Copies of this chain bind each other. A is one copy, B any other.
Amino acid sequence: MNIDKYPSRLLENAVNEFSKLPGIGRKSALRLVLHLLRQDTEQVHAFGKSLIQLRDEIKHCKVCHNISDTELCQICSNPSRNASVICVVENIRDVMSIENTQQFNGLYHVLGGIISPMDGIGPSDLEIDSLVNRVASGEVIEIILALSTTMEGDTTNFYIFRKLKDFEVRISTLARGVSIGDELEYTDEITLGRSLVNRVPYENSVGR
Residues of chain A at the chain B interface (Cβ within 8 Å): 1-11, 13-14, 16-18, 20-24, 28, 30-37, 39, 41, 43-58, 66-69, 73-75, 91-93, 95-97, 99-100
Contacts and interface: CB of A to CB of B under 8 A. Distances in A.
How many chain copies does the complex carry?
2
A67 B50 CA distance: 26
Nearest to A110: B7
B50 A8 contact: no
Chain A binding site: helix, strand, loop or mixed by DSSP? helix
Nearest to A1: B97
A103 to B, nearest CB: 13
Most buried by B among A11, A37, A50: A50
A101 to B, nearest CB: 9
A137 to B, nearest CB: 23
Nearest to A52: B48
Contacts of A44: 51-52, 54-55
Closest 6 pairs (CB-CB, A-B): A44-B55, A48-B52, A48-B48, A48-B51, A17-B47, A13-B50
